[in-house]
Structures are given as C-alpha cells and as structure tokens.
Amino acid sequence: MRSNNELGRRQFLTVSGGVVAAAVTGQMVLADSGRETPKMPASVPVFGEMERFSLDLGHRASRSGPITALKNGDLLWVTTEPEAPYLSKSMWSISRLVMRRSTDGGKSWGEPKVLQQGTTEYSLLSHNIRQTAAGTLLHIFVRYSGYDYETGTPEKSLSEVFIQRSNDEGKTWSNAAKMPTGERYQGDILSMEQLRDGRLIYPFCFLTNVKSQFAVSVMYSDDDGKNWKRSASVLRTGGGGFESGASEPTVVELPGGKLWMLIRAQTGFLWESFSSDRGATWTYAVESVLPSSNAPATALRLRSGEIAVAWNNHTHSNYARQSLLLGLTKDGKTFQGLRELDFTDFTDDPNASVPHVTYSYLTETKDGDLALSYNKGNWSRHNRPTFARVSRAWILSKDVTADLSDGRTGWHTIDPGPSAAAAVERYILAADDSLWLEIEQNPKNKNAAGIVRNIPFLSVGEIRIRVQAGKSDGYILLGNTLLSPRDPNDACLRMRFSGDRIYIGAGVPDRQQNNRRTTEFFYLAHRIGEEELYPGTFKPGEVLNISVQYNAASATARISVNSGERMELKTSKVFGLTFIGLLVANGGQMRIHSIRTILN
C-alpha cells in the first residue's frame, strides 16, 4: 500500500524532468481500442542477460582491445593507454598495453599489468589475445612508427606485428618476436582462429602501393604459434584513398570445416572469402549479405558450432559506427538475433565528430555467455573501453516487446542543439495509466525528425506496433540497417500517415556515395518509390494496432491496421529487417506505446 507522502505514477510523470512529461492534453486524444495489450518480456537488458560498463581510467582517450576467456574461467582484457597512439608522436614513449584480469565473469577487474611499454621509436596497439588448446596464451600487437599521409606508401610508413607467449595464464610473458608477414605496415586485427585440428589462423591486412589501398592475407601455424607460414592468397576489394581497400579481416571455421573470412571494405557491405584447404589459399573476395560502413566485423566460433558476429550495421556514411549489433549464424548466409549491444545518438552539429561504438572483440565465457570489449566515444577526445556480457537466450529471443516500462530505453535520437533538429519528445500518461511517448516536429525546424531503434532480426515473422498519428505527416520506417532519424525517404518499407489516409511504399535500391576525408565510400540506400493507398482510413488520435508480417525469402510484407484488410507489398531483396523508426514532418505528431516482434 502506498504511503501518503509517495507520489502516484501519474503525478510523478507530470512533474518529473528529462524528456518532457505530460498528462493527456493537446490536439491528440487517446482512444481505447478495446484490446488488451499483452504483457510480454521487455527488450530492456536485465541483469544476467545483458550487462555493460565502460572502463573510465581518467585518461583522455584510452582504447579498448582484445578480450579472452581462459580455461579456468578467468577473463583477460588488454587496453591501449593513455591515448590512441597515432594522435601524437611525442606521446609514443608513454603509451602502454595494459592487461586486467577478472575472476568473476567481468563484474570486477583486478590490478592492471603492463605488458608492453612504448618508446620514442614506436607506440603500441594490442590486436589479439587468445589461449590455445594446448594452454599457451598468445598476445599479438603492433609497434606503430607512423603513417605517411603525404604519400600513403608502405615505404614511408611502419607498423609491424609482434607476438609474445605465456605458459602460466598470463602471469609471466616471453620477449616479443616479430611475426614474419613480410609487410612494413599492418592494420588492426580483431581475431585469431584455432581450427579443430589445432592449426592457428591469423588473418592480417597490410598497406600496398596501389592507391594507398590495404589488402588482406593470412598467416598460419601448426606448432602452437612458434613458427608461421604465409598464405599465397592476397585479397583485394578495390577503392582508393586513406584507409581504403580490404582491411581488418576476421576468420572462423564453419561447422563443415570450411573457413569463412569477413573483410572491412567501402562498398556498404562487409566482403567475404572462403578457404577449403585450412587457410593455405582463399577464394576471391566478394560482397557478403551483411551491410556495413567502412568498419570491421568480428566473428567467433562458439562451442555449440554457431558463429557469433558483431559489426556496425550502419551504412549512411564512410565512418557510420553508431550501432553495434550481435547475431548468430551457422553458414554465414542466414542469421538470428542481430540485437543491438550498444549505440550512440545522432549529433545536432553536422561539423562535429560523430561518436561511435565499434571495434569489438569477442570471447565465450566458461558458462556459455558472450563477452565483448569495444570502443565507445570519440577516438581523440573521450573514447572509453567498454565491456558487455550477454546470454545466448537474450540474443535469440523470439518474442520481444519494446515499451516504456523503463522509459525511452534503446531509442536513437538527435541530440538537442541550437538548430532544433531533434523532435520534441514527451511522455504521455493515458487515462488507463498506459504510458506513451509522443514525438512532435520542433516548430523552430522545418526538417523531418524522429527516433529509431533496433528490433530482433526479422527474416520471417511479425511486428505489432501500437501507435497514434496526428493529421500531419507521420512515418513508420522499417529497414535492414540503422535508419536515419532525419530521413523519412530511406527505408525498406514505409507507412505514411497523412490526413486520415495511410500510404504504404517500399524502398528501391539505390547505390549512393558519401565520402569522408579522402576515402571513397558507396552504400546501398533504399529510396521510397511509388506509394499505395491502404484500403482503410483512420481518425487522427485513434489508437492504431498495426501488424506487419514479413518474409525475407519472398521479399513480401503483409500489412493490416486494426484487424482490417491485409495488404500485400513486395520489397527489395534484403536479408531481413532489424530497425524501426518513427518520424514526423510538416508539423506532424505521433505517439508510440509498444513494438512487439514475434519471430517464426
């Protein structure tokens, strides 16, 4: 029983700050549809299913690095401190690689141990740490001595790979030895695979003399990492300019024994290559089914035989890295999950550095959870190594409801700023005590604006959306990549609410270019084409229960509103849907109550 000095829920929401809180007032009136909204498991991470924290050491821009689980259950995490080494040559001598150990699954971390210290000749970046089947702990890192931005050539650049070993689970380490790659300048590496037969595979990228492009090859070892041989294959993806070409590969062994490599590129997709001879030779690289910006993926083979993949499924610009997804696959073609591990908002200042969540490293804990480390923030100002631990059940949830039981959790928004680019957001408490989020176009800005979020990966299943729309334009967008909260015309599928009519349209694939710095970057947008009129009207302010059934194999969406006629629409061929957006324009206003995703 509530005491007299406690605020009721409606009173609290009316007086609380943050997002504007409001009772039910204004132009829109909540109408009860008579349906009972089922209480489903919330999509908000809960303790034991999904946990994360950032390691804030007080440094200006420390960088995350590899993480691994030992046979005894301990976790090891190596970070680059105190700042990213390429920012200033004068700080190379204070750079260091620092290892921390957790004995409780990542809830706490012990005293730091310096593994490597920089000098005036080089700085450091940690790339990989892994315990082999024989129990040896291998740590791979680079000594970075500079990139020549004027020529972009390996002859005037230097970043060499070294390896050190530990036979006592990281208590003591051998001296570092150079990896015999034969290359002068090598980029970041996010994985090392050990095959079921014991062979170690170390994929790497290196700078070439072709238009400052990177290319990819592989080292392999059959004696627990003591001696290495290089594959004869060199993989390329084209492109030109700084940080272009094939780079930052990751390799895993598929259940049938074939090796699968994912490669960072600049075409709006990760590229892939396969090996059928244990890594000695590789097929020509081609685009995979995974959309991506110019950012790396990390893949990890689990004890179950499944493959976990984490990457930035965000394609609108060269360095779009504002959403980090994690999914599972068995063949590299079909996926499950694609849950968002972490994200950042969209800046209001087009000239500002865009924050990121990127460069993930994966390991499997002793009890079968996935542990990840990654970077969150901004490389040069406030980058923080971040740790997340998720359960397999959370990744593979089949029935997930996103509502406001924990407030506006999980939504990407536009940061408030002087240009008033963000939509005005308000909490609305209905007469039945149900909580809604209202978005309204800011009267000071004439551009479309809204909010977007991740949904569990929908290749076959249904999305149920409970919303209200006002007279002016409101949009529901569904996409296969992170949607823009500013653009209502780029989506795989769109519903537009205007007046008392509902218009439905599908996105038409359109290859676009959006460069940043000197690197060319192309991506596949889905520009909304011809619209069709839904056979039914709505009253502004009416509660709308929308059902979208989707089948990626047939590229078919079937849509109904308030149990009305189900309208069928063909979409472009995509591997599935994993983001939803609500946008408003022309003075529009919308409210969202819940989004329920049901997977077949």
CATH code where residue 507 lies: 2.60.120.200
Q: Are residues 22 and 144 in the same domain?
A: no
pLDDT for position 48? 57
CA distance 375 to 315: 18
Beta partners for residue 309, in sequence order: 299, 327
The residue among 322, 292, 285 whose CA lies nearest residue 309 is 292
* Token representation of residue 494: 């769109």
* Token representation of residue 114: 């310096």
Residue 376 lies in a domain: no
Q: Are residues 490 and 521 in the same domain?
A: yes
Q: Are residues 35 and 68 in the same domain?
A: no
Q: Are residues 134 and 36 in the same domain?
A: no
pLDDT for position 514? 86
Q: Are residues 39 and 176 in the same domain?
A: no
Residue 503 lies in a domain: yes
pLDDT tens track for 93-113: 999 999 999 999 998 999 999
459 pLDDT tier (thresholds 50, 70, 90)? very high
Q: Is the pLDDT of residue 45 over 50?
A: no
> Cβ of 267: how many Cβ atoms within 10 Å?
20
First CA to last CA distance, the chain: 42
Mean pLDDT of all residues in 318-345: 95
pLDDT tens track for 366-385: 999 999 999 999 888 889 99
Q: Are residues 528 and 473 in the same domain?
A: yes
Do 236 and 246 touch, CB atoms closer than 8 A?
yes
Q: Are residues 464 and 592 in the same domain?
A: yes
CATH of the domain at 131: 2.120.10.10
What percent of the chain stands above pLDDT 90? 82
Residue 107 lies in a domain: yes
Question: Residue 85: is the preceding peptide bond cis (ω within 30°)?
Answer: no
CA distance 293 to 289: 13
End position of a domain, from candidates 137, 154, 186: 186
Residue 581 lies in a domain: yes
Q: Are residues 150 and 29 in the same domain?
A: no
pLDDT for position 351? 78
Q: Are residues 41 and 70 in the same domain?
A: no
Contacts of range 305-312, beta carbons closer than 8 Å, 24 or more positions apart: 305/255, 305/330, 306/330, 307/252, 307/254, 307/260, 307/332, 308/362, 308/364, 308/370, 309/262, 309/335, 310/341, 310/360, 310/362, 310/372, 310/374, 311/262, 311/270, 311/360, 312/357, 312/358
Mean pLDDT of all residues in 275-294: 97
Residue 356 lies in a domain: no
Residue 318 lies in a domain: no
Mean pLDDT of all residues in 216-244: 96
End position of a domain, from candidates 169, 186, 203: 186
**b/e for 322-356, b at 16 or more Cβ within 10 A?**
bbbbbbbbeebeebbbbbbbbbbbbbbeeeeebbb
End position of a domain, from candidates 186, 216, 249: 186
What percent of the chain stands above pLDDT 70? 92
> How high does pLDDT run on average in the chain?
90
Q: Which residue has the higher pLDDT, 507 or 600?
A: 507
> Cβ of 420: how many Cβ atoms within 10 Å?
18
Q: Which residues contact 176 (CB under 8 A, 6 or more apart)?
A: 116, 141, 162, 163, 164
Residue 270 lies in a domain: no
pLDDT tens track for 4-35: 333 333 332 332 333 554 544 334 444 433 33
Provide the domain limits for residue 156: 64-186
Do 80 and 438 touch, CB atoms closer than 8 A?
no
pLDDT tens track for 501-514: 999 999 999 999 98
Q: Are residues 522 and 463 in the same domain?
A: yes
* Token representation of residue 99: 């290892």
Please state the pTM of the whole predicted model.
0.92
Q: Is the pLDDT of residue 75 over 70?
A: yes
CA distance 384 to 80: 11
Q: Are residues 433 and 568 in the same domain?
A: yes
Q: Are residues 81 and 25 in the same domain?
A: no
Considering its fold, how many domains does the chain have in total?
Answer: 2
- How many angstroms from the chain centroid is the CA of residue 229? 33
Residue 192 lies in a domain: no
pLDDT for position 44? 39
